[in-house]
Amino acid sequence: MHILPIVTKLLRAHPQLDVHLILVDRVIRLVEEGIDVAVRIADLSDSSLHAIRVAEVRRVLVASPAYLAERGVPAHVSDLLKHDLIAFDSFALNSEWRFTQSGRPSIRCEPRLLTNSVEAAIDAALDGLGIARALSYQVDAHVRAGRLRYVLPEFDPPGVPVSLLFQASRRGSPNVRALIAAAQEYFRSGKITYSANLPASA
């Protein structure tokens, strides 16, 4: 959704540049796998890698207006236990959904639908199957179009940084510098947003 537009702009601006774009949902080892730059959405542990923070996203709850009209809008985290939940299986530690800065309150998630695809989880929410948890950038366009609504945004946990990681020895590489500059420009333009306060009709 966001990396390909950056790469596309780079390729158009630099006709001699070749890019090998790998899109995987796992932590990669830059040195061993020969990767120049990785994009990571997580709080980063200390390492020998350099990191440049370019954006922030949030873990959010969403549901379709039709589902909320039929089942009601939760007023508190505990109300989620009365709802059909849609879970992405690598998105929660010990099957818990945690909220706010402290990680409390939390609920043991017993999903009606558990999937290994965040796209499938979002599609199920769009189809009115229940309440899903996703990252804000993954659902923002649906919220803006009125296809989904944020649920309990006041309980959202803190934002998660989006960072570019690279080896210190690669900082001087023209390719790495060009990608970093393009990513910083892209994210400064507000391509990743979080619009919890949008009205339901927005």
| Model pTM score | 0.80
- pLDDT for 134-156, tens place per residue? 999 999 999 999 999 999 999 99
pLDDT value at 190 more than 80: no
CA 117 centroid distance within chain: 13
Topology adopted by domain 59-155: D-Maltodextrin-Binding Protein; domain 2 (3.40.190)
What residue ranges do the domains of the chain occupy?
59-155
- pLDDT for 92-127, tens place per residue? 556 789 899 888 898 988 899 999 889 999 999 999
Token pair for 38: 């990785």
